[in-house]
């Protein structure tokens, strides 16, 4: 039997590599090719069984690919690639510039409607799974508040800021949810909390030879915009510790809906992720939604979609009768 | 404007009362009537604006009701009422006899398909929200294990067992998730755990005059099937404390998917509920799915459905464009 879902990958960075790996965990899928703007010979995949092609030749693979997973960035790649590729392929992407989603949705929808393809945009965990939980919490408990906490997660922008400090040789910064704020939310207090009150910051720093711990710490914790308003801790470590303990890209967070029913009964819904690799997890979500995109396209449900439009059962390789029997 | 969704309630116990209350939290809905097998004059609603009718006259309200929420029990009411009412109404119910769901689905589906109604069965939190999370966890992280922990929750059967013990005047029993087991799961250990290893039991007992604490405790913790295999604690309280602190019906629990991506990266997805009233929460979920049932019926998507068939966006009173802009 060979009716596996034939998947292509457009763009091969952390996300593309994660998608390659995730596809190998799903028996109903097969990876037919990776498409790149680089020279194909320069791209080393995890598997040597999968061909690499130039992205600008992708149109000739129209009949070989059921779903194309777009692994480019939201800033420079997807605004152009999303609509361009939806013209020829059913696609899934992780477009994550929250403020521009309506605009991006419209541009992809127009093309996909005309072409009869299905394009699920903004898939991942935020936007993605967190968005689903924010929406469902609000629909189920209309009287209440929704709180999103991020972390523990590596923050690229804040790590860069730490590394620019005089005397810092290398370093990373993690954002953490503030425990006391989370507990207040979980206890149904419905507090008003700014992003700053919800999070703390933790830095791991390797000093330049001869630099002063006190001075570096002071410069970091008082840095305006980045750290001054947060509860920030600075830990000094060796280069070896940095390599050994801080090479991964962990992330995660919490979506908590705290609401009231009846006279004044507290009800709390909580969804959380603890991810040792942010890109690998996002890739796994993309692959599950690729399955849904294929099913929708097969039954003629075309155009741009988001996670809000996808019935959960479409994500499963199992039949509706199987999931009802085994998992309901 | 009066294009509110017109909702009816069939059956008025804890669940029906919760549904009445939940509808009043949703501005796009209006409760048009409650239908009961009791004498309507004997049924006291929360609101005196809503009429109560005999259930066997419900057919004459066909044109007045958009969605009927079935609030009967799974054992005696729904197996008969589910198919009978789906013949005339779009319905939502909380059928929760897990093992018989396929059979119940088939019986409702046949009727609903023929009648052109939509019937969402087995809605609530387990089956319901927990089922969605079990399925999505497995689809997103195919290499891993799913764990469901229940509690802290009042268990009716175990409370009855406690109350049958000689020397016990009154009492309640709570099931709690075992903290150590949960922590092993959250740490990605992928342990094999039986239901007994995942839960502990906590009893609150009012003694009969002159009864021995030691003897009652011993009888409870050694009771076969119910307590002997569990870590059980027994607390002795006064009748007043029982009334004051143990009158609610709290419940909740955790669905944890622990999986691996890439080479061997730990990823953990966790969904949990902390409910001060189990029936009020289940009612709130039913009401959100009633909205979805109505939307599906409106667009001709008829037959029996489960939570797996419902795109999350259908639960919201907001438009697809609004939820994309505000919540994605």
Distance (Å, whole) CA B130 – CA A71? 31
Contact call for A284 and B266, based on CB within 8 A: no
Beta bridge partners of A5: A29
Q: Which of B265, B276, B284 sits opposite A277 (nearest CB)?
A: B265
Question: E strand or H helix at B326, and its extent?
Answer: helix B320-327
pLDDT score for B1: 44
Nearest to A101 among B265, B274, B324 (CB): B324
- Angle (deg, nearest 10), helices B14-23 and B278-298: 60
Name the domain count of chain B.
2
**What is the pLDDT tens value at each position of chain A, 328 positions in all?**
468 999 999 999 999 999 999 999 999 999 999 999 999 999 999 999 999 999 999 999 999 999 999 999 998 999 999 999 999 999 999 999 989 999 999 999 999 999 999 999 999 999 999 999 999 999 999 999 999 999 999 988 899 999 999 999 999 999 999 999 999 999 989 999 988 899 999 999 999 999 999 999 999 999 998 999 999 999 999 999 999 999 888 999 999 999 999 999 999 999 999 999 999 999 999 999 999 999 999 999 999 999 999 999 999 999 999 999 999 9
CATH for B212: 3.30.360.10
CA A201 to the chain's CA centroid: 21
Range of the domain at B175: 132-275
Cβ contact, residue pair B328, A98, below 8 Å: yes
CA torsion sign, B15 to B21 to B22 to B26?
positive
- With helix as H, strand as E and coil as C, how does chain A read? CCCCEEEEEECCCHHHHHHHHHHCCCCCEEEEEEEECCCHHHCCCCCCCCCEEEHHHHHHHHHHCCEEEECCCCCCCHHHHHHHHHCCCCEEECCCCHHHHHHHHHHHHHHHHHHCCEEECCCCECCEHHHHHHHHHHHHCCCEEEEEEECCEECHHHHHHHHCCCCEEEEEEEEEECHHHHHHHHCCCCCCCCHHHHEEEEEEEEECCCCCHHHHHHHHHCCCCCCCCCEEEEEECCHHHHHHHCCCCCEEEEEEEEEEECCCEEEEEEEEEEECCHHHHHHHHHHHHHHHHHHHHHCCCCEEECHHHCCHHHHCCCCHHHHHHHHC
Let me know whether A147 and A115 are in one domain: no
- Give yes or no: residues B156 and B261 share one domain: yes
| A212 and A180 both lie in a single domain | yes
Contact at 8 Å (CB) between B159 and B171? Answer: yes
**Whether A204 contacts A246, CB under 8 Å:** yes
Check whether residue B93 and residue B154 sit in a common domain. no
Q: What is the Cα–Cα distance from B313 to A312, expressed in whole angstroms?
A: 11
Neighbours of B180 (CB within 10 A): 13
Q: Are A125 and A285 in contact (CB under 8 A)?
A: yes
How many helices (H) and strands (E) would you count in chain B?
Answer: 11, 14
Q: Do B265 and A284 touch (CB under 8 A)?
A: no
For residues A213 and A321, membership in a common domain is answered with: no
Contact B328 A306 (CB under 8 A): yes
Count the residues in chain B.
Answer: 328
| Same domain, residue pair B79 and B104 | yes
So what's the pLDDT on residue B155? 86
**What is the distance between the alpha carbons of residues A12 and A34, in angstroms, rounded to a whole number?**
7
**Does residue A197 have a cis peptide bond before it, meaning omega lies within 30 degrees of 0?**
no
Residue A278: alpha-carbon gap to chain centroid: 7
CA distances from B219 to B166, B222, B225 (A): 9, 6, 13
Residue among B138, B284, B323 whose CB faces A141 most closely = B284
Q: Do B110 and B53 belong together in one domain?
A: yes
pTM of structure = 0.94
Smallest CA–CA separation between B224 and chain A, in Å? 29
Query: Tokens 């909380």, residue?
Result: B94
Structure tokens that stand for A12 in this block: 């091969």
CB-based contacts of A154, cutoff 8 Å, min separation 6: A172, A173, A174, A248, A249, A250, A251, A278
Q: Is A22 on the interface with B (CB under 8 A)?
A: yes
pLDDT of residue B2: 61
Q: What is the β-pairing status of strands A5-10 and A67-70? A: parallel
pLDDT score at A2:
61
CATH number where B309 lies:
3.40.50.720
Assign residue A210 a region (left: φ > 0; alpha: ψ between -120 and 50; beta: otherwise).
left
Give yes or no for a contact between B114 and B88, defined as CB atoms under 8 angstroms apart: no
Residues 285-304 of B with CB under 8 A from A: 285, 288, 291
Q: Do B275 and A267 touch (CB under 8 A)?
A: yes
Q: Do the Cβ atoms of B328 and A140 come within 8 Å?
A: no
Is residue B155 domain-shared with residue B232, that is, in the same domain?
yes
User: How big is the CA angle at B98 (ends B258 and B255), to the nearest 5 degrees?
Assistant: 20
Sign of CA dihedral A131, A132, A136, A139: positive
Statement to judge: residues B115 and B38 lie in one domain: yes
Same domain, B23 and B101: yes
Taking the C-alpha atoms of residue B314 and residue A311, their distance in angstroms, rounded to an integer, is 10
Say if B131 is an interface residue toward chain A (CB within 8 Å). yes
CB B280 within 8 A of CB A267: yes
User: What's the rounded Cα separation, in Å, for the pair B327 and B322?
Assistant: 8
pLDDT score for A196:
87
Locate B81 and state its tokens. Answer: 């009422």
Q: Is A226 annotated as a binding residue?
A: no
**Min Cα–Cα distance to chain A from B109, Å:** 12
Task: Give the pLDDT confidence score for residue A105 in this predicted structure.
Answer: 98
Does one domain contain both B21 and B113?
yes
Token pair 């996909």 is found at A112
Q: List the one residue out of A119, A127, A36 whose CA is nearest residue A83.
A: A119
- Tokens describing residue B153: 């929750």
Q: Which of B5, B3, B1 is nearest to B22 (CA)?
A: B5
Beta bridge partners of A271: A255, B271
Write out residues in chain B with pLDDT < 50, as ranges: 1
Asked if B311 and A311 come within 8 Å (Cβ–Cβ), the reply is yes
**Alpha-carbon gap: B248 to the closest alpha carbon of chain A (Å):** 9
- How far, in Å, are A188, B10, B106, B117 from residue B79 at the CA level? 37, 14, 11, 17
pLDDT, residue A12, reads 97
3-state helix, strand, coil in chain B (%, to 5): 40, 25, 30
- B267 contacts A275? CB cut-off 8 A: yes
Is A116 annotated to bind ligand? no
Give Cβ neighbours of residue B152 (< 8 Å, ≥ 6 apart). Answer: B174, B175, B176, B177, B250, B251, B252, B274
Same domain, B228 and B138: yes
The answer to whether the CB of A119 falls within 8 A of the CB of A290 is: no
Question: In the numeric block, which tokens belong to residue B256?
Answer: 């944890």
Q: Are A211 and A167 in contact (CB under 8 A)?
A: yes
């Amino acid at each position: 039997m060979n009716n596996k879902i034939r998947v292509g990958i457009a763009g091969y960075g952390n996300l593309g590599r994660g998608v390659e790996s995730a596809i190998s965990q799903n028996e109903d899928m097969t990876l037919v090719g990776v498409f790149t703007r680089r020279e194909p010979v320069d791209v080393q995949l995890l598997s040597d069984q999968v061909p690499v092609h130039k992205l600008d030749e992708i149109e000739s693979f129209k009949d070989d690919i059921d779903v194309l997973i777009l692994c480019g960035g939201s800033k420079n790649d997807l605004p152009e690639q999303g609509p361009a590729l939806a013209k020829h392929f059913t696609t899934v992407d992780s477009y994550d510039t929250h403020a521009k989603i309506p605009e991006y949705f419209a541009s992809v929808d127009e093309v996909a409607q005309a072409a009869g393809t299905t394009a699920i945009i903004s898939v991942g965990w935020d936007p993605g799974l967190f968005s689903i939980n924010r929406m469902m919490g609000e629909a189920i408990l209309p009287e209440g508040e929704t709180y999103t906490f991020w972390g523990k997660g590596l923050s690229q922008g804040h790590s860069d800021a730490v590394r620019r400090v005089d005397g810092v040789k290398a370093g990373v910064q993690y954002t953490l949810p503030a425990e006391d704020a989370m507990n207040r939310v979980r206890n149904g207090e419905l507090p008003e909390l700014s992003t700053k009150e919800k999070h703390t910051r933790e830095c791991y720093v390797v000093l330049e030879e001869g630099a002063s711990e006190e001075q570096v710490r002071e410069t970091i914790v008082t840095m305006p915009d980045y750290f001054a308003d947060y509860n920030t801790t600075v830990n000094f470590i060796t280069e070896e510790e940095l390599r050994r303990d801080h090479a991964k890209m962990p992330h995660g967070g919490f979506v908590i809906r705290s609401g009231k029913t009846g006279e004044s009964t507290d009800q709390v819904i909580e969804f959380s992720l603890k991810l040792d690799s942010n890109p690998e997890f996002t890739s796994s979500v993309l692959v599950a939604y690729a399955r849904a995109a294929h099913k929708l396209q097969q039954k003629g449900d075309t155009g741009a979609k988001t996670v809000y439009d996808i019935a959960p059962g479409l994500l499963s390789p199992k039949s509706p009768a199987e999931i009802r029997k085994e998992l309901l």
